Copies of this chain bind each other. A is one copy, B any other.
Amino acid sequence: MSVTREKIIELGENLIRTKGYNAFSYQDISTELGIKNAAVHYYFPSKENLGTSIIKTNIQRFEEMIDNMHSRKFDEWQQLETFIKIYIKSHREQKLCLVGSLGPDINTLSNTTKAELVKMTEIIHHWLAGILTSGKMNNIFSFNDEPQNKATLIFSCLVASLQLSRIIDKFDYKAVCQSIIEDLKP
């Protein structure tokens, strides 16, 4: 695996999460790397190709995190907090998450890229609903809603609060996260 290829994936992801998919160009990436924009096409023939690869990389990273938490026997609270920490980091870096940045552009994505975005979003949503279900069963979490629905509410809050925090002045992202946590306490 080429180093340039990895750098392109990383730069591309950051560009999507700061400027958006339809606003960044191969030029943005090539300039940063000190090469011509066409060189990027060698690694990723088309933009759709790059977009899909970026999402695939993220899915892989997410699944590795899940595996890691399982092997370390994290309970539901630890898992949720690890997940939320990803968002707090995004907020600190003034970036959106991939779902929140690509989601609004879904109607402009190719079928393969769209399919990958759907896959990623459903994996995260399904995982979140899973820990909410088992956490509720073990009386670690307390809430009335259907876990599926509660997962949607929490996921939505995390995603859109990142978006709002870049718009609204003096936005307290950590307070939002704290509310999500408090709300689940028995």
Contact = CB atoms under 8 A, between A and B. Distances in A.
Contacts of A22: 20, 22-23
Given A23-B22, A160-B100, A149 B168 contact: no
A104 B163 contact: yes
Interface residues of A, number: 46
Interface in A151-185: 152-153, 155-157, 159-161, 163-164, 166-169, 171-172, 175-176, 179-180, 182
A176 B151 CA distance: 10
Given A22-B23, A157-B156, A167 B104 contact: no
Given A101-B104, A105-B20, A168-B121, A153 B163 contact: no
A108 to B, nearest CB: 4
A106 interface: yes
A35 to B, nearest CB: 24
Contacts of A167: 99, 103, 106, 117-118, 121-122
A180 B164 CA distance: 18
